[in-house]
Amino acid sequence: MTKKERADFVAKKLAELYPETPIPLDHKDPYTLLIAVLLSAQCTDERVNKITPDLFALADNPADMAKQPVEKIQEIIRPCGLSPQKSKAISGLSKILIEKHNGEVPQNFPDLEELPGVGHKTASVVMSQAFGVPAFPVDTHIHRLAQRWKLTNGKNVTQTEKDLKRCFPEEQWNALHLQIIFYGREHCTARGCDGTVCGICRALYPDRKRAVKTKKA
Ligand code: SF4
């Protein structure tokens, strides 16, 4: 199979398995999604969803959050890990949204990535899931699976994003990145498979005998 044929097969298979792509992080608007995505760095979405009700009860908009002492934010988000950096970032970006963006989450990559605690992956998630702008955020699952399906050489997440954007039509990106994450969590886990087990790799590589080694994100 060519890379294009493999990509088409994967997209078709994942659309069958996950026709709906609900956003895993609970939120009510672009601001609460931005905060939830920031909290999800090196933390599971399940844990973030357990923590955010308390955080958003304290403050669920930039104006109120900017008034909160960083220590109070840190206390609530501690179970998400990296709480000193994350609480400073939440406070800092809330103040910048008030000062520079009329309290609104900016709908463009440069302004988003200028905010403390917001890198390209976080900005991509917000652009695609809050504003519906085509984006392909690459997390550990997507980086791993793209290598196993040989859609990328896995040099780094930037390269993986470029390769996947070339493999799939833009209109598929927003659903596909969630479908790949769902498949990665459910079937194609880091320890769970060697690339010879399920219907996807068996179709892409029917003669594959040895386990596939992948590079970490
Ligand atoms: S065979 Fe393994 S590596 Fe390949 S897609 Fe299935 S679960 Fe993932």
Whole-number average pLDDT of the chain: 94
The better pLDDT of the pair 217, 54 is held by 54
Q: What is the pLDDT of residue 190?
A: 77
Q: What is the pLDDT of residue 137?
A: 97
For ligand 1, residues with CB inside 6 Å are 148, 187-188, 193, 195-198, 200-201
pLDDT tens, residue by residue, 32-63: 999 999 999 999 999 999 999 999 999 999 99
What percent of the chain clears pLDDT 90, i.e. is strictly above it?
Answer: 82
State residue 53 phi and psi, 5-degree precision: -55, -40
Q: Can you say whether residue 30 is alpha, beta or left, with left for phi > 0 and alpha for psi between -120 and 50 degrees?
A: alpha
Q: What is the pLDDT of residue 214?
A: 75
Q: Is the pLDDT confidence value at 162 over 80?
A: yes
Rounded to the nearest angstrom, the distance between the alpha carbon of 196 and the centre of ligand 1 is 6
Asked whether the beta carbons of 178 and 125 are under 8 A apart, the reply is no
Q: In what helix (H) or strand (E) does residue 178 lie, and over which residues does it extend?
A: helix 173-186
In this structure, the number of other CB atoms found within 10 A of the CB of residue 36 comes to: 24
**Contacts with 112 (C-beta within 8 Å, 6 or more apart), sequence order:** 105, 106, 118, 122, 123, 126, 127
Domain boundaries, the chain: 3-20+136-204, 30-129
Which residues are catalytic, by number?
A: 121, 139
Rounded to the nearest angstrom, the distance between the alpha carbon of 204 and the centre of ligand 1 is 10
User: Which CATH code of 1.10.150.110, 1.10.340.30, 2.60.40.740, 3.40.630.10 fits the domain covering 30-129?
Assistant: 1.10.340.30
Point out the ligand 1 atom lying closest to the alpha carbon of residue 197. 1
pLDDT tens, residue by residue, 93-123: 999 999 999 999 999 999 999 999 999 999 9
Cα(first)–Cα(last) distance of the chain, in Å?
A: 26
Q: Give me the CATH code for the 3-20+136-204 domain, please.
A: 1.10.1670.10
Q: What is the pLDDT of residue 193?
A: 77
Q: Is the pLDDT confidence value at 179 over 90?
A: yes
Domains 3-20+136-204 and 30-129 share a fold: no
Q: What is the pLDDT of residue 67?
A: 98
Confidence band, pLDDT 50/70/90 cuts, at residue 191: confident
